[in-house]
């Protein structure tokens, strides 16, 4: 982050080769005039300069660059993203032996806990999940926690499991082998319990550093607003201190976890709660797990594990109760639903609700669920890069159900789509995400692309869902997501026009500057 170039209270004329004020369909201007942190004019260069003279505005000429509305990622895990930026990145590990080697190097430098994230057993040539014995071989008695790429499964070394007493504490969320011995793997609530204990060992200054590292990483890609999907009162407190001190450069919207939101309800704190750039807007619920961990709740068994249908984490009664509580206090519910059976529970739970709520992921959606979703009036927050990461998904659900998976164009006819990354589950880079939305992994040979032809988005559509669509999901579509007059002056400056370049070049878009409320933050 760098210091402010513009003061939001002053008027400015911003000139560029092209200014996109809207993407559906694309609306183009030559210049913007901002005043008081908002756009007051968007149009021709000549008229902008005339308006600027009337306001005694300063001129900022951005030359041949392109300006777009600031991108909005409405579903990230901020503290986990910051932690992952300061930990072992296991995304590219392709075997258990390679994992051991990475861990040996980590164990040889420093002491204390080892944390890593991103392993995926589907990439491993051994064809199995690693175990605590594999980790022990590399790290000895060092405590280690290794979270799977999806975040719904984690692996602990024996020392970590013993120190946390995790086998006893998580019950049936601890995975055992055929002899009944704990393997070191935990799923769903077990992961949550592990991470709660892990975070207790992270001091407050380190937590604040991780949060700012995550915000800085997002800003580098042109993101101006982040929605944090399910977090604790401790993170809320840390972010509040940063925001009140003027140290939070991006807009951050918080969805609390159930435990934290229960405290808000007990105190009858009406929402949204706002401190500077920080706003508490709702609660995050989990209706199921992930396809990668086979904990997503399906209406029929997994194709590659016929004895399993996944895990139901919240039923319709829970969803309905939290939606009612949220509406009474002015908040919003965001419900994680990856499997179609989980979505059945969410649809039933939200039926009859008055407020606008969100459904996260919508990974497997049957035809008969589409109309019901449309009637709810929800925002659908989806993650296109899952298509590339979940290259094995046809094997999981089978060819018959494959057409129900990540069906974004079909969904867009029934719900307002918003694009997100779920970082650190996927890279926070929106340009990789847009590339995945447009290509659906065809260039990478992803099998799903053959079963879901016609579900591709155009670049303009993807950008619309990353701006206005995401603002809609946050219930801020009148303030964010556009550079039309009256909107907040949140924008990104690019080195090239994403609507003019080839598809492969989308991943090479470079962000030259980021402005929030007319103030330069990058």
Q: In 44-111, which ranges are E strands? A: 58-61, 66-69, 71-76, 88-89
Give the pLDDT band of residue 6 (cuts 50, 70, 90): low
Q: Give the right CATH number for 1-70+481-522 from 3.40.605.10, 2.40.110.10, 2.60.120.560, 2.30.40.10.
A: 2.30.40.10
Give the Cα separation of 57 and 34 in Å (integer).
9
pLDDT at 7: 59
Q: Assign a CATH topology to domain 91-148+153-187.
A: Diaminopimelate Epimerase; Chain A, domain 1 (3.10.310)
The residue count for the chain: 522
pLDDT at residue number 4 = 42
Q: What is the pLDDT of residue 419?
A: 98
Q: What is the dihedral of CA 414, 420, 421, 425, to 10 degrees?
A: -70
DSSP-assigned letters across all residues of 330-356 = T-EEEEEE-SHHHHHHHHHHHTT--S-
Q: How far apart are the C-alpha atoms of 245 and 56, rounded to whole Å?
A: 30
Prediction pTM value: 0.94
CATH architecture of 73-77+203-480: Alpha-Beta Barrel (3.20)
Q: What angle do CA 501, 495, 40 make, to 5 degrees?
A: 105
Judge contact between 121 and 128, C-beta under 8 A: yes
- In whole angstroms, how far apart are CA 204 and each of 234, 238, 264, 424, 482? 9, 8, 22, 21, 36
Run of H or E including 359: strand 358-361
Q: Where do you find CATH 3.20.20.140 in the chain?
A: 73-77+203-480
The alpha carbon of residue 35 and the mean position of all alpha carbons in its chain are separated, in whole angstroms, by: 31
Question: Which of 352, 334, 253, 232 is CA-nearest to residue 286?
Answer: 334
Helix (H, G, I), strand (E, B) or coil at 477: coil
Percentage with pLDDT > 90 across the chain: 94
Q: Give one DSSP letter per residue of 234-300, joined into a string.
A: HHHHHHHHHHHTT---SEEEEEE-HHHHHHHHHTT--S-EEETTEEEEEEEEES---TTTT-S--SS
What is the model's pLDDT at position 3? 37
Please give the radius of gyration of the chain, using alpha carbons only, rounded to the nearest integer.
23
Residue 109: pLDDT band (50, 70, 90) is: confident
State the pLDDT confidence band at 352, using cuts at 50, 70 and 90.
confident
Q: State the pLDDT at residue 1.
A: 38
| Average pLDDT for the chain | 95
Per-residue pLDDT of 181-220, as tens digits, reads 999 999 999 999 999 999 999 999 999 999 999 999 999 9
What's the 3-state SS for 105-159? HHHCCCCCCEEEEEECHHHCCCCCCCCHHHHHHHHCCCCEEEEECCCCEEEECHH
Residue in 232, 296, 221, 227 with CA at minimum distance from that of residue 261: 232
Query: Which residues fall within 8 angstroms of residue 15, CB to CB, at 6 or more apart?
Result: 30, 31, 45, 48, 59, 60, 61, 62
What are the backbone angles phi and psi of residue 389, rounded to the nearest 5°?
-65, -40
Kindly indicate the confidence band of residue 8, based on its pLDDT and cuts at 50, 70 and 90.
low
Where in the sequence of the chain do the CATH 2.30.40.10 domains occur?
1-70+481-522
CA angle 363, 369, 375 (to 5 degrees): 115
Tracing tokens 């919003």 back to the chain, one arrives at 332
What percentage of the chain carries pLDDT values higher than 70?
98
The average pLDDT across 351-361 equals: 94
Rounded Cα gap, residues 262 and 232, in angstroms: 11
Instruction: Give the per-residue pLDDT at 112.
Output: 87
pLDDT in tens, 271-320: 899 999 999 999 999 999 999 999 999 999 999 999 999 999 999 999 99
**Interatomic CA distance for residues 229 and 422, integer angstroms:** 8
3-state helix, strand, coil in the chain (%, to 5): 35, 25, 40
User: Where is average pLDDT lowest: 188-202, 271-285, 324-338, 436-450?
Assistant: 188-202
Angle between helices 78-85 and 204-219 (to 10 degrees): 90
Whole-number pLDDT of residue 172: 86
Q: Of 33, 24, 19, whose CA–CA distance to 497 is shortest?
A: 19
100 is written with which tokens?
């051991």
**pLDDT score, position 9:** 73
Question: Is 5's pLDDT higher than 50?
Answer: no
| pLDDT tens digits, one per residue of 383-416 | 999 999 999 999 999 999 999 999 999 999 999 9
Q: How far apart are CA 414 and CA 372, in angstroms?
A: 9
Question: Three-state SS for 312?
Answer: coil
Dist. CA 93–CA 213, nearest whole Å = 24
Residue indicated by tokens 């995550």:
214
Q: Which residue has the tokens 């392109």?
A: 66
Please, what's the largest Cα pairwise distance for the chain?
80
Which among 395, 313, 402 has a CA at the least distance from the CA of 360? 313
Q: How far apart are CA 244 and CA 89, in angstroms?
A: 32
Q: Of 8-17, 87-96, 225-234, which range is least confident?
A: 8-17
Q: Which of 186-190, 278-282, 332-336, 364-368 is the least confident region? A: 186-190
What does the pLDDT read at residue 110?
75
> Which letter does DSSP use for residue 383 in this model?
-
Q: Over the stretch 79-103, which tens digit does the pLDDT of each residue have?
A: 999 999 999 999 999 999 999 999 9
Tell me the pLDDT band of 225, cut-offs 50, 70 and 90: very high
């Amino acid at each position: 982050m760098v210091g402010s170039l513009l003061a939001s209270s002053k008027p400015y004329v911003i000139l560029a080769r092209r200014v996109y004020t809207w993407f559906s369909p694309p609306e183009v201007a030559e210049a913007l005039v901002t005043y008081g942190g908002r756009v007051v004019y968007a149009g021709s260069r000549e008229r902008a300069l005339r308006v600027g003279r009337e306001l005694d505005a300063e001129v900022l000429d951005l030359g041949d660059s392109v300006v777009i509305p600031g991108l909005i990622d409405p579903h990230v895990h901020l503290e986990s993203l910051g932690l992952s930026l300061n930990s072992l990145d296991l995304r590219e590990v392709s075997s258990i032996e390679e994992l051991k080697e990475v861990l040996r190097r980590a164990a040889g430098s420093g002491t204390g806990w080892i944390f890593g994230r991103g392993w995926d057993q589907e990439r491993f040539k051994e064809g199995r999940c690693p175990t605590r014995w594999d980790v022990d071989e590399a790290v000895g008695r060092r405590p280690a926690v290794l979270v799977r790429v999806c975040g719904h499964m984690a692996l602990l070394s024996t020392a970590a499991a013993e120190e946390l007493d995790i086998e006893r504490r998580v019950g049936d969320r601890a995975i055992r082998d055929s002899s009944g011995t704990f393997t070191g793997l935990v799923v769903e609530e077990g992961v949550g319990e592990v991470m709660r204990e892990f975070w207790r060992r992270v001091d407050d200054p380190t937590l604040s550093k991780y949060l700012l590292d995550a915000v800085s990483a997002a800003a580098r890609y042109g993101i101006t607003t982040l929605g944090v999907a399910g977090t604790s009162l401790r993170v809320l407190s840390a972010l509040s201190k940063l925001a009140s001190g003027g140290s939070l450069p991006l807009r951050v919207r918080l969805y609390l976890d159930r435990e934290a939101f229960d405290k808000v309800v007990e105190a009858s704190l009406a929402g949204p709660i706002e401190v500077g750039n920080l706003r508490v807007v709702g609660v995050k619920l989990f209706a199921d797990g992930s396809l990668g961990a086979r904990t997503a709740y399906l209406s029929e068994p997994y194709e590659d594990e016929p004895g399993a249908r996944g895990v139901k984490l919240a039923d319709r009664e829970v969803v309905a109760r939290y939606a009612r509580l949220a509406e009474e206090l002015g908040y919003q519910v965001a419900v994680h639903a990856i499997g179609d059976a989980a979505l059945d529970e969410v649809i039933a739970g939200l039926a009859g609700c008055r407020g606008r709520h969100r459904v996260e992921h919508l990974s497997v959606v049957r035809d008969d669920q589409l109309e019901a979703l449309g009637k709810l009036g929800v925002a659908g927050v989806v993650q296109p890069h899952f298509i590339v990461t979940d290259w094995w998904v046809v094997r999981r659900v089978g060819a018959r159900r494959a057409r129900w998976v990540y069906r974004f164009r079909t969904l867009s006819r029934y719900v307002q789509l918003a694009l997100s990354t779920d970082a650190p589950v996927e890279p926070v880079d929106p340009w990789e995400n847009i590339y995945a939305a447009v290509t659906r992994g065809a260039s990478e040979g992803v099998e799903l692309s053959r079963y879901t032809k016609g579900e591709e988005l155009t670049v303009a559509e993807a950008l619309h869902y990353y701006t206005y669509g995401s603002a809609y999901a946050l219930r801020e579509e009148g303030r964010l997501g556009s550079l039309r007059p009256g909107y907040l002056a949140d924008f990104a400056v690019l080195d090239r026009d994403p609507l003019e370049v080839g598809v492969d070049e989308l991943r090479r878009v470079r962000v030259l500057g980021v402005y929030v409320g007319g103030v330069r933050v990058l």
